[in-house]
Amino acid sequence: MTQKNAPKPEEKGLRCPKCHCRHLYVLRTRAHTNGRVMRQRQCRNCGMKLITYESPPAGYGQQDLPDISDLSEAQKDSLIQRLYDLFGKLF
């Protein structure tokens, strides 16, 4: 049996602080310090603008990179050429 006066579970997600609407548009997204992301949002209902900061989950972006010493000479040469093709034009 369910209780009629049982508390509702916590609702997750953003709400507009002014009108409590859940419909927020993202106007702008920018990289911020320490891998955080800054987003400027606007409420669809009342038009209020707010800024949120998001942090990546713990361990995000810290994967082990492959050791290039495991590559053959041909693979190293190919990698160097691809990097030059991508980034050599910048210098």
Instruction: Give me the residue label for tokens 């508390």.
Output: 7
Residue 1 has pLDDT above 50, yes or no: no
Residues 6 or more apart whose CB falls under 8 angstroms from that of 4 comprise none
Taking the complete model, does pTM exceed 0.85, yes or no? no
Q: Report residue 21 CA to chain centroid gap.
A: 23
**Cβ count near 16 (within 10 Å):** 20
Half-sphere exposure of 19 (CA within 13 A, CB side): 12
Q: Average the pLDDT over 62-66 and give the result.
A: 63
Residue 28 has pLDDT above 70, yes or no: yes
Q: Residue 40 burial (CB < 10 Å; 0-12/13-18/19+)?
A: middle
